[in-house]
Chain A
Amino acid sequence: MLAAGTVVVAVTLASSAFSKPAPAPAAAPDTIAAPRPASGLVATDVANDAGRGIALEWKVSPDDVVGGHVLTQYYINRAESPGGPWTVIDSVAAKTTNKVDQNVSRNTEYFYRIDALGPGGLALAGSVTGPVRATSQWVNTTRSSVMVGTILFFGFVLYYIASAQSGKKPFVRRIPGIDAIEEAIGRATEMGRSVLYIPGIQDISDIQTVAALVILESVAKLTARYETPIVVPVTYPIPFTIAEEMVKAGYLHAGRPEAYDPDSVRFVSPEQFAYVASVTGIMLRDRPAAHIFMGSFYAESLLLAETGFATGAIQVAGTANVHQLPFFVVACDYTLIGEELYAASAYLSGEPKLVGALKGADLMKIIIIASVVIGCILETLRLHGFTQWMATQ
């Protein structure tokens, strides 16, 4: 960030032709000379981007030494022709040797120079670098390993979906946490109390929220069948509208659309602790007999689960947020760990196409395990090519 006074310097530079010799520093102290400029500036187009950056790299000034006070900053200047006018686009501290200019227009030629500033004055660069232009690339080559993995994964999933459609129903192991959802709803029905469903605290951009809302439909179907009220407090507006649709769909598919209560899905607040206050209030006042936590949770996980535990409700949780899992394991009766959350909708619906997608994920896991083992062996043998190919930017 440039200080306000720096603008004057920039204007002065811009008005002077670059070919002129460096002016004598104005009002230079008797003992401190202006620093010598940086050298060896190389400007290159940033690879694998949309033509939005030019990378600059230079060698520090001979006066830019440890403990030295002759040089304090480098000014990065840019112009569209070697003769100027020059504009200071940024300043960096002494010892810095690179910078990416991200305020460039695509396919425009630029020239750069690096000036050095110290208490003794400003030293203009001895040479200009350029022209260089930022261009777009069609393929990000650093992501080729991800592309291969994605194509393989999508291929496996599509193959198993097609296989399921042709009549082969894949086997899926029992997941006790998902089985417990029906048990919890049954218990709420016996006690004549409601079911509280919490679809995480993130917006729809978090895929865990999508998974949680998909499970909500199955849960709503069960509550409709058992004639048990369901309460769904939601944090963000878009998940709120989708949650309304899911609960309506659950009641419709259970054959009881008239039993749907429009107040069952409630928009609370996107603010984390305001949401906690509201939900713990529902737990303590309405005493739902079953609490189902599915989705993305953060610090509020334990506040909600411990309050729920204190009310004596049966609790089932599921999240892929690793740091919240221990809290749910401690405070809930059943916990879906990581990928089980994403498998829940397929498991609950039992639809072969959805179950087929799980098989594809399993096959991909085998490939990832094999890649980890192969990577370890190659690294042990000091062969780094595979690891470097796997690294992405």
Chain B
Amino acid sequence: MKREVPLFLTAVIGLFMILSFFVPHQWVSVPADFLQACAVILVAFGYVLGGANALRVNFDAIYKRKQGWPYKIVLVVSLLATVIIGAIEGPGFLNPNMKSKWIYDWIYSPMSSTMFALLAFFIASAAFRAFRIRTVEAGLLAIAALIVMLGRVPLGDLLSNWLFELRWLPGAPHTLHLSTIQEWIMDNPQNSAKRAILIGAALGVMATGLRVILGIERSYLSGED
């Protein structure tokens, strides 16, 4: 029964939600909306479990003086302080002059921005590796990337104008300009490949969903048979 009941509920609710996509009538759409609201409530309870796990793992690391344990003290204190202040301030915790808002604006937001800013450096190092030409395919990728990058900045237009209008080929058609070529690369080869991946992925989504709904994929339930 421990497995049969969840499998039955998954099948019935899953098929009902698929049905709600095609049947807009209130007898279907109202229960479907209700089920989605239930999912939100369920997630709220899940946060209690998540918070308890975060505290248990970090308290244990502090107690056993594991590597980096002083940072875990900072984490636990920050977690508890944010939760307690938020609970005291209640629903209006993000209004101006609230302590929670201050924490968000002056601690959380700058730290998030700092992490995000690191992306610029990582893109530079990753691009350096990506554009090393070792094979024919890597060569094609590097040429396409160069055209797209140049074609999207004013420098590309200046270069195209200088090459085709002033210097080598005065009156050359606009199709030879970097901006036009990059547009073609993005609209045709790039878009086609992207759509092919998306169609495959969408079918994968449906197949996975169907496997779960029909109970063929049931490993998520638990390890006990």
**What is the CA–CA distance of A217 and B220 in the complex, to the nearest angstrom?**
8
Interface positions, chain A 285-323, Cβ under 8 Å from B, are: 285-286, 299, 302-303, 305-307, 320, 322
> Does A50 count as interface, using CB distance less than 8 angstroms?
yes
Known: A281-B68, A338-B197. A137 touches B24 (CB 8 A): yes
Chain A contacts of B203 at CB under 8 A?
Answer: 153, 339, 361, 364-365, 368
**What is the CA–CA distance of A341 and B116 in the complex, to the nearest angstrom?**
26
A339 and B220: CB pair below 8 A? no
A238 and B21: CB pair below 8 A? no
Known: A263-B60, A320-B201, A357-B211. A205 touches B24 (CB 8 A): no
Complex: chain A residue closest to B30, CB-CB:
A50
Chain B contacts of A327 at CB under 8 A?
Answer: 126
Chain A contacts of B136 at CB under 8 A?
Answer: none
Q: Digitize A229-262: 1 where CB-to-B-CB distance is under 8 Å, 0 elsewhere.
A: 0000000111011100110111111000100000
A140 and B197: CB pair below 8 A? no
Complex: chain A residue closest to B145, CB-CB:
A326
Chain A contacts of B56 at CB under 8 A?
Answer: 263
Chain A contacts of B49 at CB under 8 A?
Answer: 237, 240-241, 267
Measured CB to CB, the closest approach of chain B to A103, in angstroms, equals 16
B115 and A360: CB pair below 8 A? no
Interface positions, chain B 199-216, Cβ under 8 Å from A, are: 199-201, 203-212, 214, 216
Measured CB to CB, the closest approach of chain A to B58, in angstroms, equals 9
> Does A273 count as interface, using CB distance less than 8 angstroms?
yes
Q: Digitize A144-160: 1 where CB-to-B-CB distance is under 8 Å, 0 elsewhere.
A: 00110010011001100
Binds B, one of A74-82, A93-101, A207-215: A207-215
Chain B contacts of A343 at CB under 8 A?
Answer: 204
**What is the CA–CA distance of A106 and B221 in the complex, to the nearest angstrom?**
40
A322 and B39: CB pair below 8 A? no
A139 and B223: CB pair below 8 A? no
Known: A136-B25, A322-B194. A153 touches B115 (CB 8 A): no
Complex: chain A residue closest to B21, CB-CB:
A143
**What is the CA–CA distance of A150 and B216 in the complex, to the nearest angstrom?**
18
> Does B29 count as interface, using CB distance less than 8 angstroms?
yes
Complex: chain A residue closest to B60, CB-CB:
A263
Chain A contacts of B42 at CB under 8 A?
Answer: 238
> Does A33 count as interface, using CB distance less than 8 angstroms?
no
A240 and B46: CB pair below 8 A? yes
> Does A268 count as interface, using CB distance less than 8 angstroms?
yes
**What is the CA–CA distance of A364 and B210 in the complex, to the nearest angstrom?**
14
Known: A217-B219, A237-B49, A354-B216. A302 touches B123 (CB 8 A): yes
B68 and A285: CB pair below 8 A? yes
Measured CB to CB, the closest approach of chain A to B15, in angstroms, equals 10
Chain A contacts of B217 at CB under 8 A?
Answer: 214, 345, 354
Say which residue of B60, B126, B208 sits within 8 Å of A211 (CB atoms).
B208
A140 and B26: CB pair below 8 A? no
Interface positions, chain B 32-88, Cβ under 8 Å from A, are: 39, 42-43, 46-51, 53-54, 56-57, 60, 67-68, 71
> Does A342 count as interface, using CB distance less than 8 angstroms?
yes
> Does A48 count as interface, using CB distance less than 8 angstroms?
yes
> Does A274 count as interface, using CB distance less than 8 angstroms?
yes
A267 and B112: CB pair below 8 A? no
> Does A179 count as interface, using CB distance less than 8 angstroms?
no
**What is the CA–CA distance of A306 and B210 in the complex, to the nearest angstrom?**
35
**What is the CA–CA distance of A329 and B205 in the complex, to the nearest angstrom?**
22
> Does A330 count as interface, using CB distance less than 8 angstroms?
yes
Chain B contacts of A51 at CB under 8 A?
Answer: 26
Measured CB to CB, the closest approach of chain B to A132, in angstroms, equals 18
Measured CB to CB, the closest approach of chain A to B47, in angstroms, equals 5
Say which residue of B71, B118, B220 sits within 8 Å of A245 (CB atoms).
B220
> Does B119 count as interface, using CB distance less than 8 angstroms?
yes
**What is the CA–CA distance of A296 and B126 in the complex, to the nearest angstrom?**
20
Chain B contacts of A139 at CB under 8 A?
Answer: 22-24
B112 and A273: CB pair below 8 A? yes
B43 and A157: CB pair below 8 A? no
> Does B129 count as interface, using CB distance less than 8 angstroms?
yes
B197 and A337: CB pair below 8 A? yes
> Does B130 count as interface, using CB distance less than 8 angstroms?
yes
Measured CB to CB, the closest approach of chain B to A321, in angstroms, equals 9
Chain B contacts of A342 at CB under 8 A?
Answer: 201, 204-205, 207-208
A106 and B26: CB pair below 8 A? yes
Interface positions, chain A 349-377, Cβ under 8 Å from B, are: 353-354, 357-358, 360-361, 364-365, 368
Q: Digitize A191-221: 1 where CB-to-B-CB distance is under 8 Å, 0 elsewhere.
A: 0000000000001010100110110010000
Counting from the closest, the 5 A-B pairs by CB-CB distance are A342-B204, A237-B46, A249-B223, A267-B50, A273-B115
* A interface list, Cβ under 8 A from B: 48-51, 106, 136-140, 143, 146-147, 150, 153-154, 157-158, 161, 203, 205, 207, 210-211, 213-214, 217, 236-238, 240-242, 245-246, 248-253, 257, 263, 265-268, 271-274, 276-277, 281, 285-286, 299, 302-303, 305-307, 320, 322, 325-327, 329-331, 337-339, 341-343, 345, 353-354, 357-358, 360-361, 364-365, 368
- A sample of 19 cross-chain residue pairs with beta-carbon separation below 8 angstroms, ordered by A number, consists of A49-B24, A50-B24, A136-B29, A139-B22, A140-B21, A150-B206, A153-B203, A158-B214, A214-B208, A214-B219, A237-B46, A238-B46, A263-B56, A272-B112, A273-B116, A302-B123, A320-B204, A330-B130, A338-B204
